[in-house]
Amino acid sequence: MRECHSPFTHSNTVFPHYNVRIKKSSFCDNTVNAYTGYIDIEARHIFFYFFESRNDPDTDDVIFWTNGGPGCSSSLGLFMELGPCRVSDANGTTFHPESWNTNANIFFVDQPIGVGFSYADYGESVGTTEEGAKDIAAFIFVFFEHFTKFKGRSFHITGESYGVCRGRYVPVFAAEVYDQNARLAAAGYTPINLTSIMIGNGITDFYHQMSSSFDMQCTSASVPPTLSIADCVRMKPMVPRCEQRLKESCVDIFDAVDCAAAASFCDTQLKAPFWKSELNPYDISQPCDADGLKDNLCYPVTAYIRAYLSRPSVRKTLGVDDAVPTNFSSCAPAVGSAFRAQMDSYRLTQDYVGGLLERGVRVLIYVGTYDWICNWVGNERWTLALEWSGQAEYAAEPLRPWAVGGDFTKGRAGLARSAKGLTFATIDKAGHMVPYDKPKEALDLVQRWLSGEGF
């Protein structure tokens, strides 16, 4: 193993004080160059894993991946879903053939500070996506300044939600990166070639997505109705009442107290019945008891990942700082609480998406049809309602079937609608973690997106 530690603090006119602590190895994928470590921006230290492409690292695009929560480590995406190796049992890692680094260079980031292996020196914390975006934009700039051969490559910001914030993280982060480019260019640095964003099973427009809880429980939008007829009859008139309260208190004018009350009303009327069902909120076709949801997000494999990343030998290989607690936590409750205290998930986010589209940044919204918590009905609903110059043309497009490699003889992979740079795609019988449930379909999805092939 070779360590690429920089023993001094660098300076530039954009970020006056930063440092890099990076180790190069064959960790996780011995077929490519792999790097782990920290980018330090003053007293904030952001941990990442970076894997070069298995195809052509000198020309392939670069993907940024982050998980959700808010407050969950991107190690879940790496070791459970789309990374070059998986931790599927207590024995450690195994090679993953459908990794997204098949045709792309990809890095996984633990963010915000306080999540996973990332930390701060003096108790600094982040409570809103907009605050976190500044750290991420700085991180991305420093990353490309250090890994100079990737400068100017097509760059894609992507992630998924384990709760409510991934649909916020990605658009807000991308907007900050785009706006930062003007400062970079003025200072003589190479701008980030932000080409697209990809949001998997996110909550981006809480107002238009809230009502889909009814559709997912009381219609056959995904699986046969899960609630009794009586419960659905009671719930149906609550949908417009919920929407009215959200519009008045969260959308038209944001009032933290009134918005919190409206959100509580909607959760009680539209979501509480689901939690009594003991179904997996990330895969409505599967059961999950309360203990399984609390301890392992309904997936026992997460316990193996936590144990693996708590091993002293693994932490040494990765270059984890001694300041990070010994026992690894997949999700940081304190970070999630800070975001909830700020009502972060009830801030408007869809206009960031519209702003990116207007500036030529492509947007892919992909959703597994078995996910309940950030479901396909709500995601289709908000994309159709999105106000931007391409709205009419996008809304006029029908949903069309797509298949892996275009080969429908092996079955349909899902449905898609696309126009003017915005694409909405479903993945049949996949849950919240699409690459975990449908790795071949997920890889085909991202490969055609990177190539610009379309749906």
Q: What residues act catalytically?
A: 161, 371, 432
- Does residue 50 contact residue 106 with C-beta atoms inside 8 Å? yes
- Other C-beta atoms lying within 10 Å of the C-beta of residue 250: 23
Residues 22 and 5: their CA atoms lie apart, in Å, by 6
Q: Are the C-beta atoms of 226 and 279 separated by less than 8 Å?
A: yes
Tokens of residue 71, six digits? 């407050």
At 335, list the tokens.
């970070």
| Token duo for residue 150 | 């990737």
Q: Return the C-alpha torsion angle 321, 336, 74, 81, nearest 10.
A: 150
Residue 283 backbone phi and psi in degrees, to 5: -155, 95
The span from the CA of 155 to the CA of 104, in Å, is 10
Residue 171 CA to residue 347 CA, distance in Å, equals: 12
Please tell me what DSSP assigns to residue 14. Answer: S
Side chain identity at residue 142, one-letter code = V
Dist. CA 346–CA 254, nearest whole Å? 9
User: Based on the number of CB atoms within 10 Å of its own CB, is 130 exposed (0-12), middle (13-18) or buried (19 or more)?
Assistant: middle
Rounded distance between C-alpha atoms, residue 9 and residue 358, angstroms:
38
The backbone torsions φ and ψ at residue 171, rounded to the nearest 5 degrees and listed phi first, read -65, -40
CA distances from 312 to 81, 113, 182, 346 (A): 24, 21, 43, 39
How far is 365 from 434, CA to CA, in rounded Å? 12
- HSE-CB for 329 with a 13 A CA cutoff: 17
The b-or-e profile of 175-209 (16+ CB within 10 A means b, else e) is bbbbebbeebeeeebebbbbbbbbbbbbbbbbbbb
**Bridge partner list, 23:** 3, 36
